[in-house]
């Protein structure tokens, strides 16, 4: 998955363009920058690549979620539904805008279960955030259809699935908007960085203005200082060096995915020796960004025994049931409502009333599934030696 594996001359040359002018800021410095606008160019190229009308670069995938939710008008009093298997950033952003995260079960796609989503919609629901976890598609068309019936916005958290598609259509373009992360471990990386894509011009304008203190970015004689603003904003601006790296990494994204898909097919073949093994359900195998390979055993106990053997061979797999960053029952700070704020916000009202309580046992289907799933991360360049080790370890594990 990580694009840092292939960081090379292309990235260095793009960076050199910026260092040449010395302009690190995405706006202004008209003459000095010599026509070089890397962040803007990255946005244009990313939007074109995804087939989206607009793209807004920001400082991280987490910032992308916050900017998108804010532009969608989500705030205190609203509920936002996401899934119980995701990275903490998804619900951090929901709490950050003052809304309440509500969690659904995941199904055999390891993403949002549309049937459970229907059950969790209330009069307070404003937005749904399906996550395309571990590189593969959520059942996004079904989710968008449900959202339409209830007049709800859909924000796709595509942080882990840049370049993923369904029948050729890019993930992130099904809902009202889609967010991406380019952090250190994502398929394409800018070190830190994020992007939001949308087909809706007004939504993009709100994002563009909010992410830069409300600046309307309208050309005027006084330059930046003379710009107007129609609402309060914040600062989530991406800098030129990140934009430069993004341009080079984007050009390599399809090749990275193709390499990962090849490795994934080999891993799947290797795991097939385990009797009764099941594989994660893929909405469209051809559009899988193939950053991870997931396989399921019949129960958590057998999963533990198989993984002990894999670990004994030096190739232990990830069991997200034990992972504290991605799996609802392990989010102890969310469950406990831990926060630095004196009032206890966002878990408590300023008056001391509890706003929300989370029970770790409310997602039994997700727990059952996740604790019997094993996962290998797929590098862009898989060393033949490691692949061979995994293959022979899986063979040994086939008998337990």
- Mind telling me the catalytic residues? 186
Q: How far is the CB of 191 from ligand PLP (least distance, A)?
A: 10
CB contact set of 227 (below 8 Å; sequence gap of 6+): 215, 216, 217, 218, 220
CA distance 111 to 268: 20
CA distance 320 to 302: 15
Q: Which residue stretch of 57-65, 196-204, 232-240, 314-322 sits at the interface with ligand PLP (rule: CB under 6 A)?
A: 57-65
Q: Are 116 and 84 in contact (CB under 8 A)?
A: no
DSSP-assigned states of every residue in 332-369: HHHHHT--SSTT-TTTB-TTS-B-----TTS-HHHHHH
Site string for ligand PLP, 247-286 (x = CB under 6 A): ----------------------------------------
Q: Is 60 one of the binding residues for ligand PLP (CB under 6 A)?
A: yes
Residue 7 tokens read as 């960081």
Could you tell me how many residues of this chain bind ligand PLP (CB under 6 A)?
14
Q: Which is nearer to ligand PLP, 128 or 397 (CB)?
A: 128
Among 14, 43, 113, 183, binds ligand PLP (CB under 6 A): 183
Alpha helices, DSSP H, located in the chain = 9-21, 38-50, 61-71, 89-96, 114-120, 140-149, 201-210, 240-271, 300-312, 332-336, 364-370, 384-397
Q: Which is nearer to ligand PLP, 62 or 373 (CB)?
A: 62
Q: Which is nearer to ligand PLP, 60 or 137 (CB)?
A: 60
Helix (H) or strand (E) holding 227: none
Q: How far is the CB of 216 from ligand PLP (least distance, A)?
A: 26
Q: How far is the CB of 186 from ligand PLP (least distance, A)?
A: 6
Q: Which is nearer to ligand PLP, 133 or 306 (CB)?
A: 133
Among 3, 84, 194, 246, binds ligand PLP (CB under 6 A): 194
Q: What SS3 state is found at 252?
A: helix
Q: Which residue stretch of 44-52, 86-94, 163-171, 335-343 sits at the interface with ligand PLP (rule: CB under 6 A)?
A: 86-94
Closest CB to ligand PLP: residue number: 61
Residue 200 tokens read as 């809706």
Q: How far is the CB of 328 from ligand PLP (least distance, A)?
A: 13
Among 57, 89, 153, 393, binds ligand PLP (CB under 6 A): 89
Q: How far is the CB of 207 from ligand PLP (least distance, A)?
A: 16
Q: Which of residues 135-174 bind ligand PLP (CB under 6 A)?
A: 157, 159-160
- Expressed in percent and rounded to 5, the helix, strand and coil fractions of the chain are 40, 15, 45
Q: Are 283 and 139 in contact (CB under 8 A)?
A: yes
Among 70, 82, 83, 90, binds ligand PLP (CB under 6 A): 90
Among 104, 109, 137, 181, binds ligand PLP (CB under 6 A): 181
Q: Is 62 one of the binding residues for ligand PLP (CB under 6 A)?
A: yes
Q: Is 61 one of the binding residues for ligand PLP (CB under 6 A)?
A: yes
Q: Which is nearer to ligand PLP, 176 or 393 (CB)?
A: 176
Q: Is 371 one of the binding residues for ligand PLP (CB under 6 A)?
A: no
Q: How far is the CB of 181 from ligand PLP (least distance, A)?
A: 3
Q: Is 178 one of the binding residues for ligand PLP (CB under 6 A)?
A: no
> Measured in whole angstroms, how far is the alpha carbon of residue 263 from the centre of its chain?
22
Q: Are 69 and 99 in contact (CB under 8 A)?
A: yes
Q: Is 55 one of the binding residues for ligand PLP (CB under 6 A)?
A: no
Among 42, 46, 85, 87, binds ligand PLP (CB under 6 A): 87
CA distance 210 to 208: 6
Q: Would you give the DSSP letter of residue 126?
A: E
CA dihedral (348, 351, 352, 357) positive or negative:
negative
Q: What SS3 state is found at 382?
A: coil
Task: Name which of 121, 122, 120, 70 is nearest 99 in CA terms.
Answer: 70
Q: Which residues bind ligand PLP (CB under 6 A)?
A: 60-62, 86-87, 89-90, 131, 157, 159-160, 181, 183, 194
């Amino acid at each position: 998955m990580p694009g840092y594996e292939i960081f090379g001359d292309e990235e260095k040359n793009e960076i050199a363009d910026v260092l040449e002018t010395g302009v690190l800021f995405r706006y202004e410095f008209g003459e000095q920058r010599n026509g070089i606008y890397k962040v803007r160019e990255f946005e244009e190229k990313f939007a074109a690549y995804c087939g989206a009308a607009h793209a807004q670069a920001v400082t991280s995938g987490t910032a992308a979620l916050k900017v998108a939710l804010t532009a969608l008008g989500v705030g205190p009093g609203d509920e936002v539904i996401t899934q119980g298997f995701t990275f903490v950033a998804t619900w951090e952003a929901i709490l950050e805008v003052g809304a309440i995260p509500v969690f659904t079960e995941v199904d055999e796609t390891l993403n949002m279960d549309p049937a459970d989503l229907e059950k969790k919609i209330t009069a307070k629901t404003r937005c749904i955030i399906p996550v395309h976890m571990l590189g593969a598609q959520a059942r996004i068309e079904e989710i968008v259809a449900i959202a339409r019936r209830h007049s709800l916005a859909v924000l796709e958290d595509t942080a882990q699935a840049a370049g993923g598609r369904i029948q050729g259509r890019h993930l992130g373009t099904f809902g009202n908007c889609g967010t991406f992360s380019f952090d250190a471990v994502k398929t394409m990386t800018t070190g830190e960085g994020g992007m939001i894509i949308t087909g809706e011009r007004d939504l993009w304008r709100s994002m563009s203005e909010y992410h830069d203190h409300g600046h309307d970015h309208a050309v005027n004689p006084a330059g930046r200082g003379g710009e107007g603003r129609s609402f309060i904003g914040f600062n989530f601006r991406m800098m030129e060096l990140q934009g430069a790296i993004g341009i080079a990494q984007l050009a390599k994204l399809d090749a990275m995915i193709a390499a990962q898909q090849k490795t994934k097919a080999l891993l799947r073949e290797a795991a097939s020796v385990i009797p009764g093994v099941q594989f994660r359900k893929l909405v469209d195998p051809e559009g899988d960004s193939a950053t991870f390979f997931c396989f399921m055993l019949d129960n958590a106990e057998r999963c533990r025994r198989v993984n002990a053997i894999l670990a004994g061979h030096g190739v232990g797999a990830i069991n997200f049931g034990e992972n504290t960053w991605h799996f609802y029952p392990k989010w102890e700070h969310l469950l406990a409502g831990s926060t630095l704020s004196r009032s206890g916000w966002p878990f408590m009202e300023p008056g001391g009333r509890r706003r929300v309580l989370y029970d770790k046992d409310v997602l039994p289907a997700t727990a059952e599934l996740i604790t019997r799933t094993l996962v290998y991360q797929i590098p862009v360049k898989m060393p033949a030696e490691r692949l061979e080790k995994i293959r022979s370890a899986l063979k040994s594990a086939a008998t337990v």
